[in-house]
Amino acid sequence: MSQGNPGNMGLCIACFLRDITGFFVGGSTNQAAVAYIRPEIVGIILGALAAALVTREFRPRGGSQPVVRFVLGFIFMVGALIFLGCTVRAWLRLGGGDLSALWGIAGIVAGVIIGVVFLKRGFNLGRAKAVARPLGWLLPAVAVVLLVFALVSAYGAKPGWATVTPENARAVVPGQVVVAPDGDGLKVLKPADGNGDPTASIVDGAVVADDGTVLADAGKVAATKPMPGGKRAALWVSLIAGLAIGVVAQRSRFCSIGGIRDAILVRRYDLLFGVIGLLIGATVVNLMLGQYVVGFEGQPVAHNDALGSFAAMTVATFAAVLLGGCPFRQVIMGAEGDADSFVAVVGMLVGAGATHFYNLASSPLGLAENAWPALGVMAAILVAVALAGSRKTA
């Protein structure tokens, strides 16, 4: 946040994967406000890869229920975007003083408990087997491709088909009126004609159309905050931070749900200390940087629908337990050569696009209109998957 990223989003795997999806398909999935290749993801993958190679822990493996893993990754992403954050960001939101994250954290605990019930019944997606070496390099190869696109977009010319949220752009009227910094003032990006030329301008701080119609008064323009995809730290800062995080995560086996799962299932607490350390560290750093704002209302990229947050995180966490780890852990394992985790990450990417295409993603105003039906359907699918997996191993 101090370097330019959205508030309380220091490491949200779901948010960052969603933004990457927006870069590639944002024009057709209503993701203009969240479209940018997040270098943090690239750095995490390459950092974890380097650590795995140095310690000889890079092992190409996979073949364990790939279709089911794709579905679980998809469901996790939809639930996370309804909550507005993954299981890592839930703790980071609380570390920034966002008390509305408590509802999501309660959902994380509930999701783990439900998942543990099925684990005790014998649920298992099967054991991964050694696979052809190129399959282990799938996620690292994707990271390299993403890095190339990020560099070209930042220092060259953005591909015409790609979508990138302009830096610090503001959606004054979402989808209709968008402005961005221009020197000491603002310029209008939307509305625009077929050639992309603005058909409105800034007059005394207000957005005024060419026919004189006031599209947004000066007060509304001044009060609008930058879109999430438009808030970002410098590319090299994000990349280096990601590399460091990837190395640490690979060596520590950090998982944002694994600690709770192990504490309940086998009375093992070492991974839980990692989550506690994350929360304490985030709180201390936010206090040091003057970014700690305690309360339920007005928190960055968050809503205060308690029941919706609880349900969304319950569904997302249940999916993550069945997968065998949170999205952060899936990314790390994919960097270690796990093709099954790569499939789960692909499911998350597709889920992000679908969530925005079908308008299921929440906003600071609250849950999307069809969020509850989607949560109900996903919960039913998860129970069916868990029951089927338990019967196979019973």
Question: Per residue in 284-335, pLDDT tens?
Answer: 999 999 999 999 988 988 999 999 999 999 999 999 999 999 999 999 999 9
Joined together, the tokens standing for residue 47 give 């950092």
Measured CA to CA, the distance from residue 81 to residue 74 in angstroms comes to 11
pLDDT, averaged across the chain: 92
Measured CA to CA, the distance from residue 162 to residue 353 in angstroms comes to 14
Q: 156: Cβ–Cβ under 8 A, 6 or more apart, which residues?
A: none
- Cβ atoms of 317 and 115 within 8 Å: the answer is yes
Question: Per residue in 236-259, pLDDT tens?
Answer: 999 999 999 999 999 999 988 988
Question: Per residue in 129-143, pLDDT tens?
Answer: 999 999 999 999 999
Q: Residue 1 has what pLDDT?
A: 55
Cis, peptide link before residue 191, omega less than 30° from 0: yes
Q: With bands split at pLDDT 50, 70 and 90, how would you rate the model's confidence at 394? A: very low
- Cβ atoms of 79 and 257 within 8 Å: the answer is no
- DSSP three-state, residue 208: strand
Question: Per residue in 135-172, pLDDT tens?
Answer: 999 999 999 999 999 999 999 888 889 999 988 898 88
pLDDT above 70 (res 392): no
Question: Per residue in 65-100, pLDDT tens?
Answer: 999 999 999 999 999 999 999 999 999 999 999 999
Q: Residue 147 has what pLDDT?
A: 97
Instruction: List strand residue ranges (DSSP E) for 238-302, in order.
Output: none
Instruction: List strand residue ranges (DSSP E) for 147-274, in order.
Output: 170-173, 177-182, 185-190, 200-203, 206-209, 214-216
Report pTM.
Answer: 0.92
Phi and psi angles of residue 205, each rounded to the nearest 5 degrees, phi first: 85, -10
Instruction: List strand residue ranges (DSSP E) for the chain, in order.
Output: 61-62, 129-130, 170-173, 177-182, 185-190, 200-203, 206-209, 214-216
Q: With bands split at pLDDT 50, 70 and 90, how would you rate the model's confidence at 226? A: confident
Distance of CA 5 to the CA centre of its chain: 13
Q: Residue 10 has what pLDDT?
A: 77
Q: Residue 356 has what pLDDT?
A: 95
Q: What average pLDDT does this structure show over 359-383? A: 95
Instruction: From 174, 169, 168, 167, select the one nearest 188 (Cα to Cα).
Output: 169
Measured CA to CA, the distance from residue 110 to residue 15 in angstroms comes to 22
- Cβ atoms of 146 and 37 within 8 Å: the answer is yes
- Cβ atoms of 353 and 81 within 8 Å: the answer is no
Q: Residue 267 has what pLDDT?
A: 84
